Chain A
Amino acid sequence: MSALLEVEGLDLYYGDAQALAGVTLEVPRGEIVAIVGANGAGKSSLIRTIAGIERCRAGRIRFNGAEIQALESHAVCNLGIGQVAEGRQVFPSLTVEENLEMGGLVPRARAGAKAKLREVYAMFPRLEERRAQLAGTLSGGEQQMLAIGRCLMGNPEFIMFDEPSLGLAPKVVQEVLHTIRSLNAKGMTVLLVEQNVAVSLKISSHAYVLENGVVAMSGRGTDLLHDDRVRQAYMGL
């Protein structure tokens, strides 16, 4: 069976500057695939292109077998592609509950939004405690929980995480990674972009190394973890 998400020969430009060059990768259903690479390697650009926020100049993106590279971001979301964006991107002057409601507005999730809200609150009791609080007043870790909860409200079958541990305390990072693993254990397919290379290689089944917009290496997470080049370049070992 073909993979849930297939990216083939993706080229992305910002003006004249090329951000992605011929990126090809697959995310099989039910797995965690990691993208690692230095700052500016094109990791976030890749996620934003899949999400329909950036327009690629060449290449194909297939989700469930259908081409999606020409779709607008709201249409991509409605296919079940969720995103937990870099910097969390919550709505600071909306309450926690209103933030979650916004996640449930995509047509595919609207009917089940009430039930989903209870599910998210069961998963993150902290969010329920703070439901009436403005999202801008939450701590970084709580905002990350909110961003994940908001994404789940859209009833996705595939979630892209962009730097979910950035700027969080080590204990909170553990919580976030635990959340990602337990979502995956329940069948969620995950694309994980992380600066924390060791951790993301450990929890992923497959990983791609992105360098200057090009896939430089790929392989099983555990194999890359023991690869000397990866260890030298990204883990300082």
Chain B
Amino acid sequence: MPVEIYLNVAASGLLTGLVYGLMALGLSVIFGVVRVVNFAHGEMMTLAMFLTLVLFNALKLDPLVLLVPVAAVMFALGYLMQAGLINPFINRPEHSQFMLLVAIALILVNVQLIVFGPDAQGIRTRYSFDSFKLGPLVIDASKVYAAGAALVVAAALFAFFRFTLLGKAIRACADNYDGARVVGLNVKRLYALTFGIGSACVGAAGAMLMVVSDVTPAIGPAYTLLAFVIVITGGLGSMPGALLGGLLIGVTEALGGVLFTPSAKSMFAFALLVLVLLFRPQGILGRRET
């Protein structure tokens, strides 16, 4: 096979990887602050994708415009989940949190099956078949737009945590839980906001992924797993790590697909995870627990 094909595949994997990275960023933010692992992450992702589909069919707006209302709805859902369901579990042992979130995941999958059915559904935009030519590379326009949107959302998130008082307060909670209570921060409310923000990331990523991929309720668990692989590869709790992990997993899966067979592409992602765990257990950009 000519070498351009590999380059093309790698470039397209890189772009999809950015969208994966944004999804994983949501998981990372939630874990980094609330210290709860969101086992319903992928199921929330498919929910966001279906939401985009419904809004697209109703309003005929571009999915990349729809990402704003979808992210807003997912924010509200995440906020309510944390405030109503997860906060009472915050000081319980991890296995009870695990059961709670797995239960949420199961409910989400099955509600989506009832409402939307088991078939794969997709969206056709007017740029679905466009592509850009860049030297030897031919890249899908929809992937470029989706990846661009992912970068914008991620940059906005970084700016939020860096420059706003609310973002700093959330970082303070993650930094020192006791300290946050000592200075009078409303930790439970900040946790709910954090879960909302993480869910909004998933919402935005779901709308973007709808541009490049189909959705069925059954792929929810696969996305949950993908988000874990990305976050662990990049480094738990590291925001740049989640994006980097997304890029790496995107490229690895894409290249694995052409080099071997597309149905085995996840195998390569897991192989990368195993390598990272062997040689750098804290993840590529993760810090060692001190």
Chain A residues in contact with chain B, CB under 8 A?
51, 53, 72-74, 76-78, 83, 85, 89-94, 98-99, 101-103, 105-106, 150-151, 153-154
Contact = CB atoms under 8 A, between A and B. Distances in A.
A74 B181 CA distance: 7
A105 B185 contact: yes
B172 interface: yes
A151 B181 contact: no
A38 B21 CA distance: 52
B84 interface: no
B175 A91 contact: yes
Contacts of A76: 184
Q: Please indicate which of the listed interface residues B168, B182, B185 has the most CB atoms of chain A within 10 Å of its own CB.
A: B182
Contacts of B185: 74, 102, 105
A74 B176 CA distance: 15
Nearest to A76: B184
B59 interface: no
A85 B178 contact: yes
B165 A105 contact: yes
Contacts of B184: 73-74, 76-78, 105-106, 154
A74 B179 CA distance: 12
A66 B184 CA distance: 19
B77 interface: no
B183 A92 contact: no
A114 B172 CA distance: 19
A94 B173 CA distance: 11
Contact of A94 (B168, B178, B181, B187): B168
Contact of B181 (A73, A98, A103): A73
B213 interface: no
7 contacts: A53-B178, A74-B187, A91-B175, A92-B176, A94-B171, A98-B172, A105-B169
Query: Interface of chain B, helix or strand or loop or mixed?
Result: helix
Contacts of A90: 176, 179
B171 A91 contact: yes
A30 to B, nearest CB: 23
B240 to A, nearest CB: 14
Contacts of B180: 91, 102
Contacts of A73: 181-182, 184
A106 B182 CA distance: 11
A8 to B, nearest CB: 24
B186 interface: yes
B213 to A, nearest CB: 36
Contact of A89 (B168, B171, B179): B179
Nearest to B187: A74
Contacts of B186: 72, 74
Nearest to B189: A74
B168 A154 contact: no
Given A74-B187, A77-B183, A154-B184, 15 more contacts: A72-B186, A73-B184, A74-B181, A83-B182, A89-B176, A89-B178, A90-B176, A94-B171, A94-B172, A98-B168, A102-B168, A102-B180, A105-B165, A105-B185, A151-B183
The 5 closest A-B pairs by CB, nearest first: A77-B184, A89-B179, A106-B184, A91-B175, A74-B186
B168 A101 contact: yes
B28 to A, nearest CB: 15
Q: Please indicate which of the listed interface residues A53, A89, A101, A150 has the most CB atoms of chain B within 10 Å of its own CB.
A: A89
A6 B175 CA distance: 33
B241 to A, nearest CB: 15
A90 B178 CA distance: 9
Contacts of A72: 186
Contacts of B168: 94, 98, 101-102
Nearest to B184: A77
B90 to A, nearest CB: 14
A178 B214 CA distance: 68
B173 to A, nearest CB: 9
Contact of A105 (B179, B181, B183): B183
Q: Please indicate which of the listed interface residues A83, A94, A106 has the most CB atoms of chain B within 10 Å of its own CB.
A: A94
A89 B182 CA distance: 8
B181 A154 contact: no
